[in-house]
């Protein structure tokens, strides 16, 4: 292992513990190139440096904010050049903000629709249940049968 004895190296378990990121996710970020592959011991165990942990925290924060993997990749490239102008990072952030606002609007529409459906249900028998009726006849919804896609 080429790591100097001055720089502390961490196991994948310790990195997971320190960041709250699952081991499988850390490996995934390595596989797709967001996180550089760490050096390995003679026994083939990964050994991460503090710089890996910092980068992983950056990735996790960006993902928590909803940035796509490709946007995170671009932001990492931009972060690697501190003297570069930040217009591109700003554009990426503003695009994500617009996407979040659009999703909020869709969710608000769904909440209103669910409220209407639930308010239309007054107990009784399933044969007369407004919830079941609306779900069986998608056109009965006020959103006109438009699908909501949450990415699943």
Tokens of 101: 């606002």
Return the pLDDT at 6.
62
| Residue 131: closest CA among 115, 145, 149, 107 | 115
Among the ranges 53-57, 127-131, 148-152, which has the highest mean pLDDT value?
A: 53-57
Tokens of 114: 């669910």
SS3 for 140?
A: helix
- Domain ranges in the chain are 1-67
Write out the CATH class of domain 1-67: mainly alpha
Mean pLDDT of the chain: 89
| Residue 55: closest CA among 19, 5, 106, 91 | 19
- The predicted-structure confidence for 79-109, as pLDDT tens digits, reads as follows 999 999 999 999 999 999 999 999 999 999 9
């Amino acid at each position: 292992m080429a790591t100097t004895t001055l720089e502390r190296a961490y196991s994948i378990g310790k990195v997971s513990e320190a960041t709250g990121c699952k081991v499988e996710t850390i490996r995934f970020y390595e596989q797709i190139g967001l996180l550089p592959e760490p050096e390995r011991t003679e026994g083939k165990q990964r050994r991460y440096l503090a710089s890996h942990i910092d980068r992983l925290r950056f990735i996790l924060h960006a993902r928590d904010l909803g940035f796509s993997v490709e946007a995170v990749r671009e932001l990492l490239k931009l972060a690697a050049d501190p003297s570069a102008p930040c217009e591109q990072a700003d554009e990426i952030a503003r695009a994500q903000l617009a996407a979040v606002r659009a999703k909020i609007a869709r969710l608000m529409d769904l909440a209103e629709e669910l409220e209407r459906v639930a308010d239309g249900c007054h107990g009784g028998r399933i044969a007369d249940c407004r919830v079941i009726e609306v779900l069986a006849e998608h056109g009965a919804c006020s959103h006109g049968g438009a699908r909501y896609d949450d990415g699943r």
